[in-house]
Amino acid sequence: MNTNDFLIFKEPFFEPESTAVQSLCRIAENVFDKPALLDDPVFLSLTLEGTFDTLRWYQSSWGREFCRQETALIASPHAEGCRQEAPLSGSFAFENTKGRCSAQTSPFFTLSGEACSLDFAICTSGNYRVEVTPLAHAVIVTIRTPDPDFSTELRPGETFRYPEILVHRYHSMTESYRTKQEFALSRLADHRVYHEMPVIYNHWWAYEDRHINEETILANARIAKALGVETVMLDAGWFGSDDDTEEWFLVRGDWDRVNRDRFPHGLAWLRERLEEIGMGLGIWCELEGLGVESTLLKEHPEYAALRDGENLGCVCFASPAVQEWAYETMCRLFEQCGALYWKLDFNLDPGLGCNAPGHGHGPGDGLLKHYEGLYAVLDRLRRRFPNLVIENCSSGGQRLNLEMGRHAHIHFLSDPDYSTHQMHQFKEASRWFLPRQLLHFMWSNTVTTDGSSPFPNLDLETLSPEEIRYHMRLAMLHQFGISHRLTEYSERTLAVMKDCLTQYKTVIRPFVAEGTYLPLYLSEKINIFSFTRDGESLLLLFAQEPGTAHCDLTPLILDRAAGESSFQALDGAAGGSASWAVTNLDTRPEAVSLTFGADSPGLDFSASIPWTSRVLLLKRK
C-alpha cells in the first residue's frame, strides 16, 4: 500500500498569542489492519497572521557555524513618495541536505515584525527544508524533509512522530531569553555535569594524534592538576593498530584496539595513573564512523551504510546488529577507561542516508532510522552508566540541535576556538541552549600536519596577564576546557592560568552551573553577560577592542521595592543607604563606573586597551 488513505494525522495546535515556548509535533497513525506507507514530507505548516518583514537564518559549515543571514520579506514599491509596502512574490527557502543538521544551514530561524518576533527551532539531527511564503497580511511557514523519496512504513496501530518544532513568540530579547531558559530547565534531566562542570584538558589541537603518547598525556596532566583541571580527555590517536603513522580516519570503527606504540600500557593503566594524580579519564570515540581500512569493515561489511551502493563512511544504526555491536563495544571501552566522559564525534556528511536493504529501514527512511537507532544506543548507555557524560560533537558544531540534547548532555560549539569566533558562537547558541549545556575551549595553540593552522593560533607566552584572563574567562561562560602544551609554558603563564581557574571554580562556575543567564549588552566588540542565583548576579564584561558601553541593570533588579534603586560604588567605597552593592572581583577597578537613576540604574564599561575583561558581583544588601 503506497498511499496515506489509512493514516490519521493529528495536527498540533498553535496558539498565536501565547508567549510560552510551544512544542508542535505532527503525528501520523496507521488505523488500518495492514502496513501503510507514510510519504507525506511536511513536518509542520503554519499560517501566521500579521506582518513579518524579516527572516533571519543561518548558513553553516566547518568552522563557520551560525553565519547569520537576513532576508527581507517585504518589498517597497519604487514609486517616489510611495510608503506602502507589499509582500515579496513567491517563497524563500533554505535547506540542509547533508545529513547533519548544522552542516549546511542551522535548524534555528526567526521571523520579525513590528509587533513581535517568532523564534523557531527544528528538533532534528538530520535534514530539513524551510519555506517562507509572505502574503498580504500573513506568512506561511512550511518545514519539510528535502528528500524527494521520503517514505516510512507504519505497521497496524503504529504511530510516527515528525520532528518536533519549537516556536516562541516574544516582544523583547529579555523576555525571549528568560522564557526559553525556563523551558530548557523544564526539560533538562538532572545530571552531575550541570552542577560540577568539570574543567577539561584535551590534547587534540595542541598535539593532535601524531604527537601524543602516554608520557605526554601524563606530563601535561600533572601540570593541569596543579592548575585546577579535573578531567583529561583522550581524543583521537588512542585506537587502531600499533603503527604510529596510521591515519586515524581510515581505521575508525576499530574501537577494540589500542595503539600500543603510543599507549603501551593500555587504557586501564592510563586511567589508574591519572587517578593517582587526581584526574579522571574521558575518551573520544566516533562510534558511527567506519574507516575504509578498518578491521570492522573487513569483518562486517554488512554494517556499512550505503547510498545507491556507495559506502557513506559510517555504519547504519538502523540495523539491530549494529546497535548491539555499538552498545557492547562501548561497554567494554568504558570498563577500561571508566564511564566518566565520552566525546561522541561524527566527522562526515551522510547526505540523505542509507538506502541499502537488510538494515531495518526502507529505501526512503534510512537517515531517519539511523538517528532513531543512535538515540536508542545512547539512551541505553545512559541507563547502564548513569554518571557518564556524553558530549555531542560533530566536526565541532555540525550536529547542534535540541533533539540531540535529549540523548547527550553537553554540546561542543565549534572546532575553531579563537575568541572572536567563540564569542559569536556563544551568543547565537545561547538563544536556545543553557550555557551549562555548551562547551568550548579557551583559544588553543594548534599543530597541523603541514605546519599551518586552520585558524588563528594563540601562544600564551606572548600575552599579557590581562589578555590571558580575557581568553580564559570567555570560555568560562559555559562548560570549560583547554588544549595547550602546558609543559612548554613558563611559571609566569601557568601562575596566571591557575589564578583564573581558581576564580572560575570558586566564583564563576557556581553562577554558570546554577544561575539564570541573561545578556545585558551585545555588540561586535563589547559584550556584557549576567548569571543570577540566590538574589545575586555575576557580571562578566568583555571588550575585544577599546570602546565604551552603557549597560542597563534594570532587568536584574526588577524585584526591588518601589523607588529602591540606589547603588553602592565599586568595592564598597561609597557610603549611604544603598539597597544594592556592586563589587569588582578583580584587582583592576578601572574601566567600570555606575550610573545612578531611579528609572534606569546602569553600568558604564570603558576599555582603553584590547582584550579587557572584568568580573563584577551585584548583590542586594
392 and 503, same domain (yes or no): yes
In a domain, 367, yes or no: no
- Residue 297 counted as domain residue: no
Strands of the sheet with 108-112, listed across from one edge = 21-24, 164-170, 117-123, 108-112, 54-59, 67-72
pLDDT value, residue 421: 97
| Contact criterion met (CB below 8 Å) for 270 and 263 | yes
Q: What is the mean pLDDT of residues 469-496?
A: 97
CATH code, 280:
3.20.20.70
Lowest mean pLDDT among 40-49, 166-175, 290-299, 566-575: 566-575
592 phi, psi to nearest 5 deg:
-130, 135
Q: Are residues 128 and 98 in the same domain?
A: yes
Pick the last residue of a domain from 155, 187, 219. 187
Of the three residues 139, 159, 187, the one that is the final residue of a domain is: 187
Q: Residues in the chain, how many?
A: 621
Bridge-partner residues for 44, per DSSP? 143
**Does a structural domain hold residue 364?**
no
Q: Give residue for cell 575568541.
A: 419
What does the block give as the cell for 122? 527544528
Instruction: Look up the CATH number of the domain holding residue 49.
Output: 2.70.98.60
Between CA 385 and CA 441 the distance in angstroms is 26
Instruction: Take residue 336 and report the three cell numbers written for it.
Output: 577500561
The DSSP 8-state label assigned to residue 6 in this structure reads T
pLDDT at 554: 86
Identify whether the C-beta of residue 208 lies closer than 8 Å to the C-beta of residue 233. no
CB 105 within 8 A of CB 59: yes
Domain count, the chain: 3
Q: Does residue 412 lie within any of the structural domains? A: yes
- Domain stop point among 164, 187, 210: 187
Same domain (yes/no): 481, 548: no
Half-sphere exposure of 234 (CA within 13 A, CB side): 32
Which strands make up the sheet holding 547-552, listed edge to edge?
547-552, 602-607, 592-595
- Domain check: are 104 and 213 in the same one? no
**Would residue 499 count as lying in a domain?**
yes
pLDDT reading at 184 higher than 50:
yes
- CA distances 68 to 60, 109, 428, 509, 590, Å, are 9, 9, 9, 30, 34
Do 384 and 414 lie in one domain? The reply is yes
Q: For residue 304, is it within any domain?
A: no
Average pLDDT taken over every residue of the chain: 91
Span 266-280, average pLDDT: 98
Average pLDDT estimate for 540-544: 96
Confidence of residue 566 (pLDDT cuts 50, 70, 90): very low
CB atoms within 10 A of CB 16: 14
| Residue 3 pLDDT exceeds 90 | no
CA-CA distance, 384 to 194, in Å (whole number)?
19
Do 78 and 225 reside in the same domain of the chain?
no
Same domain? For 486 and 409 the reply is yes
Confidence class for position 212, pLDDT limits 50, 70, 90: very high
User: Residue with C-alpha cell 516562541?
Assistant: 168
> Which of 456, 426, 461, 427 is CA-nearest to residue 444?
456
Q: Per-residue pLDDT tens for 28-63?
A: 999 999 999 999 999 999 999 999 999 999 999 999
Task: Identify the domain containing residue 449 by its residue range.
Answer: 199-288+321-346+379-514
The answer to whether residue 356 is domain-embedded is no
Task: Give the CB-side neighbour count of residue 36, counting CA atoms within 13 A.
Answer: 20
Q: How far apart are CA 198 and CA 501, in angstroms?
A: 11
54 and 111 co-located in one domain: yes
**Each residue's pLDDT tens digit, 61-77:** 999 999 999 999 986 55
- Better-scored residue on pLDDT, 533 or 586: 533
| Domain match, 527 and 509 both | no
Residues 257, 388, single domain; the answer is yes
pLDDT of residue 451: 63
**Residue 619 or 532, more confident:** 532
Tell me, what CATH number does 606's domain have? Answer: 2.60.40
Give CA–CA dist 551/600, Å, rounded. Answer: 10
DSSP 286: -
99-135 pLDDT, tens digit per residue, is 999 999 999 999 999 899 999 999 999 999 999 999 9
What is the band of 582 on the pLDDT scale with cuts at 50, 70, 90?
Answer: confident
| Least confident among 167-176, 231-240, 449-458 | 449-458
- Give domain status of residue 479, yes or no: yes
Claim to verify: residue 204 and residue 250 sit in the same structural domain: yes
Do 209 and 130 share a domain, yes or no? no
Q: How far apart are CA 335 and CA 388, in angstroms?
A: 12
Cβ neighbourhood burial of 410 (10 Å; 0-12, 13-18, 19+): buried
Residue 288 pLDDT more than 70? yes
